[in-house]
Amino acid sequence: MRRFATRALLALPHGGSNGWATRPPLDGVAKRYFSDPTTPDDEPRFLEMVKMNFEKAAKHTDLTPGLVKQIMACNSVLRISFPIERDDGTIEVIRSYRAQHSHHRTPCKGGIRYAEAVDLQEVEALASLMTFKCAVVNVPFGGAKGGISIDPKKYSVRELEKITRRYTVELNKHGFIGPGVDVPAPDMGTGAREMAWIVDTYRMLFGQSDVNAWACVTGKPLTMGGIEGRTEATGLGIVYVTRAFLAKKEECQRFGIAPGIEGKTVVMQGFGNVGFYAAKFFIECCGCKVIGVVEYNSAVYNSKGLDVESLKKYQMEKGTLLGFPGSESELAADEAHEMMEIECDILVPAAMERSIHKGNAHKIKAKLICEGANGPTTIAAEEILEKKGIAILPDILTNSGGVSVSYFEWLKNLAHVGFGKLTRRWEEKGKNQLLETLRAAGVDTESTHQTMRKGATEKDLVYSGLEDTICNGLDEVVETANRKKISYRTAAFVNAFEKMQGTYGDSGFTI
């Protein structure tokens, strides 16, 4: 894959490499991740796209050039190499990274991904996106991101545990983890298991000296201080923001979309955690039909709607979508991406960056694109889609559900009490007293659904908080887009810049 001549996204430390010179050969997951054969080679990489979006948005603010440069710059980066002993006795050197983009709010917040393609430049770019994502939805964190350059499928559970625990020790040694410093979370290739190893290692290091140690990481299992609703948060957030957008009649009219979400047809590109839960809630909460699902190695279609839970079970067993009994038609690996081009109301690219590019954008027939992945739409593709009158809800708004609920988990750990713990029974008593009063007045309350009598559970409150957070962010983005006559993506970045301006100040904290 040829190297682009464009400028690097951010200045790298040690005057060093941009990652290309030392990158291992691209194969397997890494090849698909960085050089999708369906994406034209002359389009900017994800990292360059991030910078281009930054610069475009900055022109619509009154920030000074110097302040814009400081906001865009990555504050701190950590590059670590450490050895581990494999199960067969061989020694392997593991490369890992952590970037803290902004300390305008603390702690920093961002996921840890395990993927062969991870390098310092990617981690810095993703950390910067986290800063803006948090600002867009008013979550008071600075952005961070971490990664380990491995394919987790090639390692045993024991080896993954050793790698994760050593990585945690290194983060702690260099001041890159802590409840008030930097709080990681799951990302590609990681989950609750890895977060459990991290918090356990951190607590071993600090013993009883830090009562808030459980808050050093989010996305943990419930038994280790996790929170109800975190697993499905990103997918559910996509559904909430899509439903709220389609309730805005004036916005729908601008793009020729019938207002309302019920009955809308959906195509999902990507069927991992985010894609599956988004599909599930589109059906359960909104009455939509998921007519197409696209994966890197297969795609399936059913005009009457797919049973996504059965499809997920089938995928887990077979490793492919091909042959699923509930499909009307299917496409194999070489043609699977073409399923994104079928006619539908809503397209959700929730797999990888640059999925929609100048080579296929003109074929997209969706009326609304709601981005679930980071950077799924290239700059050239967005221009084509805008000319076609297709609405695009940007990634830094739509996939912010994960960090929003991570914020709730962090608050829960610092408070040392679960949401609803102090109020649930009181709510139930109040509701039952009201029903008793109505019954005494002759009103029939026997048919009242049992759930109406219950107090809010932790999951109820998390779902409510998530919807409020992400929908408020949408309202602000739409208002800015209309006022400045710019795209929703540019408006989201503009809002983030303006919210951050007050914490940076005119001087930019220079010394």
Q: What is the DSSP string of 152-186?
A: GGGS-HHHHHHHHHHHHHHHHHTT--BTTTEEEEE
Task: Give the bridge partners for 377, in sequence order.
Answer: 356
What's the CA gap between 57 and 492, in Å, rounded?
Answer: 9
Active site residue 367: no
Chain centre distance of CA 89: 37
Is 310 in contact with 287 (CB distance < 8 Å)?
no
CB atoms near residue 38 (< 10 Å): 15
Task: Determine the straight-line distance between the first and last CA of the chain, rounded to whole angstroms.
Answer: 43
Pairing of strands 265-269, 182-186: unpaired
Q: What beta strand segments (E) does 71-122 contain? A: 76-85, 91-100, 108-114
Question: Collapsing DSSP states into helix, strand and coil, what is residue 348?
Answer: strand
Pairing of strands 142-148, 265-269: unpaired
CB atoms near residue 37 (< 10 Å): 9
Catalytic residue among 51, 109, 133, 145: 145
Q: What is the dihedral of CA 287, 342, 231, 398, to 10 degrees?
A: -90
What lies within 8 Å, CB to CB, of 406 at 6+ separation is 109, 183, 185, 218, 219, 230, 233
What's the CA gap between 121 and 129, in Å, rounded?
Answer: 13
* Kind plus residue range of the DSSP H or E element containing 473: helix 458-484
Cα radius of gyration (the chain): 23
Sheet holding 265-269, edge to edge: 329-332, 298-301, 289-295, 265-269, 346-349, 368-370, 391-393
**Pure H helices in 22-156:** 28-34, 46-58, 65-72, 120-136
Chain centre distance of CA 131: 12
Catalytic residues: 145
